[in-house]
Amino acid sequence: MTLWELVERRARDAPHAPSLLFSEVRISNREFRERALSLARGLAGLGVGKGDVVAVQLPNIPEYLLSYAAICALGATLQPVHMPYRRAELAHLLGHSEAKVFVCLSRLKDEWPPGLKNVVSLGEPVEGAKGFGSIASAPPLERIPESSPEDRFLLLYTSGTTDNPKGVPHAQRGFLANAAASVPEMEITKDEVVLSAAPLTHLYGLYAYHLSLCSGAAMSLLPAFTPGDLAILVEKHKANCVFAGPAHFKPLLDTGLLERHDFSSLRFACLSGSPVSPELAAAAERRLSRGKTIQLWGMTELQAGSFSRPSDPADVRHGTAGAATPGTELRVVDERLQVRGLSLFREYLKNPVATREAFTPDGWFESGDTAELSAAGHLRFTGRVKEIINRGGVKYSPLDIEALIDRMPGVARCAIVPFPDPVLGERACVFVQAAPGAAAATLEGITRELDRAGIAKFKWPERLEPIEAMPLTPTQKVMRGRLRELLKR
């Protein structure tokens, strides 16, 4: 089925059942369909049609998922844009995707890149933009264009925005089949409530919604994460299946929120996005009256690659990312994790070189991780090949940040590497080699320049280490492993 066909099926089979739960608002399956059709008519009036890209930068609110459904109803493609992205990232990503329409919040108008033609803004009126309310109040679209599960419906972006971006197009069949096959493995039913602490602009949050859509379960929406808000929402909406990261659950443990709020509805908490320590998984489970903790591994290129099942033994659920999802195959060659399967993407957008480098001659995708597979097929990660910062599950390449810092007066060369953090998993440290005769750079000065450049704050380094001479290979590449070793001393 296509995503829109799933929306239609829910509206037909269970019209009064909840589709979305948002604070005190309950949107039924029938109402969701009708509102999505009105929004689809409004977007069609802006010229959106089959194959067009619509970029959406909205938090976890009903308007985001209504936009997703409306875009799919038109046979167009959703390009999710993370909320922290500012004008520097937006200009590059929207230019690379050739987005026809940009849906966003009015209050962030100062961060919109110049030259955007079709902007739909949610909030107060903004000159030059169409109001979301007026677009969404059009009469419902009466005729849905024909579409196929083979049609592209998502355009996601991996790490790297202004430096060698990698757009990942996905057809409906792969991701929706991956989610549909996961539903019985996770034992999700139409009577349950799914909640994502992760943003819906992230692959992990989208996967949670796809599970909700395929199972018939309601989706509880958390606009922005705080530990207290997550605990309140689990209690208020009686969430059964929570998809979160270690950085979401550790504060719940540290502040005693798991004890002070009613988590008795929770059947499982799925942890993913950054490395999960067995100790954290076990500690969270001990505080859940009937819930279990499981782990999941996924990538922008394939959605969910593996997860531990609620029925697995505790050592598997707490210490591994479980077994492959149905329809996915995993193998480890020279310690490097490789994958293939029905949900795997086919090629990067406008990047044939990266596509060729990503696949082995026999068609397996190089994940960029090092890992081990047990005899039973359970996956355990041992490291990462790619030099990517993973801050609380949000991954990004530091190369574009380094390029900006390298241009600062007094900086001869810099390199950014991760250092461990008990809450977020990793934070970024910048090593700076000063230019001859120049004063040492300061962290305040660097972040001030990144702010002026419009770089999202989560990419800013949070630690600075001066270094007399950068360790280099014979080909003048920074030996980042050496820098990470220095941080351990």
pLDDT surpassing 60 at residue 161: no
Q: What pLDDT, in 10s, does the model give residues 370-426?
A: 899 999 999 998 777 667 788 998 888 788 899 899 889 889 889 999 999 999 999
Tokens coding 91: 């200009």
Lookup result for tokens 């990144």:
450
SS3 of residue 301 by DSSP? coil
pLDDT confidence tier of residue 164, bands split at 50, 70 and 90? low
C-beta of residue 259 within 8 angstroms of C-beta of residue 231: no
**Proportion of the chain above pLDDT 70, given as a percent:** 97
- 438 vs 124, higher pLDDT: 124
Do 437 and 473 meet the contact criterion of CB atoms below 8 Å apart?
no
Provide the 3-class DSSP secondary structure of residue 28: strand
* pLDDT-wise least confident of 33-37, 276-280, 335-339, 355-359: 276-280
Q: Which two tokens stand for residue 383?
A: 């490291």
Q: Which of 287, 290, 295, 293 is nearest to 253 (CA)?
A: 287
Q: Write down all domains in the chain, each with its CATH number in brackets.
A: 1-147 (3.40.50.980), 171-387 (3.40.50.12780), 398-488 (3.30.300.30)
* 254 confidence band (pLDDT: 50, 70, 90): confident
pLDDT band at 473 (very low <50, low <70, confident <90, very high): low
**221: Cβ–Cβ under 8 A, 6 or more apart, which residues?**
20, 21, 22, 60, 61, 62, 65
Alpha carbon 473 to its chain's center = 34
Least confident range from 92-96, 166-170, 247-251: namely 247-251
Write down the pLDDT at residue 418: 93
pLDDT of residue 403: 84
Angstrom CA distances, 174 to 144, 220, 369, 384, stand at 22, 24, 22, 25
Check pLDDT > 60 for residue 320: yes
By CB atoms closer than 10 A (0-12, 13-18, 19+), residue 457 is exposed
Among residues 101, 98, 134, the alpha carbon closest in space to that of 117 is found at: 101
Q: What is the pLDDT of residue 162?
A: 44
Q: What is the pLDDT of residue 266?
A: 98
pLDDT of residue 479: 82
Q: Which residues make beta-bridge pairs with 92?
A: none
The secondary structure of 42-81 as a DSSP string is: HHHHTT--TT-EEEE---SSHHHHHHHHHHHHTT-EEEE-
Which amino acid does the sequence have at 100?
K
Tokens of 472: 């280099």
Q: Which amino acid is at 165?
A: P
Percent of the residues in the chain that have a pLDDT greater than 90, as a whole number: 81
For strand 303-307 and strand 323-324, is the pairing parallel, antiparallel, or unpaired?
antiparallel
In 332-440, alpha helices (H)? 352-358, 399-406
Q: pLDDT, tens digit, for every residue of 186-226?
A: 999 999 999 999 999 999 999 999 999 999 999 999 999 99
Distances (CA, A) of 232 to 115, 206, 209, 261: 41, 22, 20, 7
Backbone phi, psi, residue 248, to 5°: -85, -40
Is residue 367 predicted with pLDDT exceeding 90? yes
| pLDDT tens-place string over residues 79-103 | 999 998 999 999 999 999 999 999 9
pLDDT value of residue 353:
94
In eight-state DSSP terms, residue 457 is G
Q: How far is CA 330 from the centre of its chain?
A: 22
Q: What is the mean pLDDT of the chain?
A: 94
What is the mean predicted confidence (pLDDT) over 281-304? Answer: 96
